[in-house]
Amino acid sequence: MAEPAARPLAALLKLINGAWLTQALYVAARFRLADLLANGPLSVEELASRAGTHPQSTARLLRALAMFGVFHEEASGQFGLSPMAEHLRSDRPSGLYHWALLQGEPWHWQAWGQLQENVKTGVTAFESSSGRPLFDFLEQEPAAGECFAAAMAELSSLSTRSIVKSYDFSAFRRVVDIGGGEGILLQHLLETYPAMHGVLFDREAVLAKARERLSGTPLAQRMEYQSGSFFESIPGNADAYLLKHILHDWNDAAAGRLLRACREQLRPHARLLIVEYLLPSGDTFCHGKMLDLEMLVMCGGQERTQEEMRTLLAQNGLSLERVIPTSSGLSLIEAVGA
């Protein structure tokens, strides 16, 4: 057993070495090792043959990941899936395969390498490393855009059910999901509320994926797709507008432009429903505090406290009515026109 004084040191060392684990998971996802083990354990030689990788290097990668509960080393020397590794399969509807890819992609990884300058100067690290804002980059680089959109869809699926269960949407007949990606949240709302009509508003490239996914389903008749910039105008005549993980992409000035665009369309009894992390004070753990660093590095946005959210809304003609916590750790913030 480690001496008490050594425990903080060991814990710190584990955190410092966290980057190694991120890259190991990325490589396992990139070679689809979990997919190849879906039908049962394999020897390293057979797995490497199917993956097109070097056997000894593959064994060392799996051995390290198995130590953390990702993959399982059999007594026979074969490797198989663990419960965690199941979520690295590319065919899991609620997994983290694409999120693992996103975290290790060179364009994402290199931006985090600029965190020192970001903290020193306030200049967004991704812009320093790539020479352009994140969303311009994703628009201009289709492969990166697809990776990002798929990762966002995965994250959305993890929290969608808790959001739908936490709030009564039954009064809304027309709901606009602003920046709604592949329409995961809107899909669950339409499935739960048969009288509801949905409008998915996002970039055309993202909407194409949503159309393809929902084409031919009963929901297709109740789903409308509109593309455009939410900084300029958003669809009107809705009872509710959704902003899930959108405001955190932007600093207060840009977020204010978006909120004012929403305010212009908000009818007297309509609601603006914002889904974000609200950061607690002190040392309390919240995943949003780490996500806040991701926003700092990648797009210059930020997570906010409840008071910061209240102030931001008030500055842009909106009033925070109530905050509904969800089991996912996210909060649903209900706002109306001030």
Catalytic residues: 248
If one counts every other C-beta atom within 10 angstroms of the C-beta of residue 8, the result is 9
| Cα Rg of the chain, angstroms | 22
> Which among 115, 108, 184, 200 is positioned nearest to 147, based on CA atoms?
108
The whole-angstrom separation of Cα 200 and Cα 127 is: 29
Round to the nearest angstrom and report the end-to-end CA distance of the chain: 59
Q: Which two tokens stand for residue 207?
A: 């909407």
Contact 91, 99 (CB under 8 A): no
Q: Residues with Cβ < 8 Å from 162, sequence gap 6 or more?
A: 326, 327, 328, 330
Q: Distance between CA 190 and CA 200 in Å, rounded? A: 12
Q: Return the structure tokens found at 287.
A: 């995943």
CA distance 149 to 270: 29
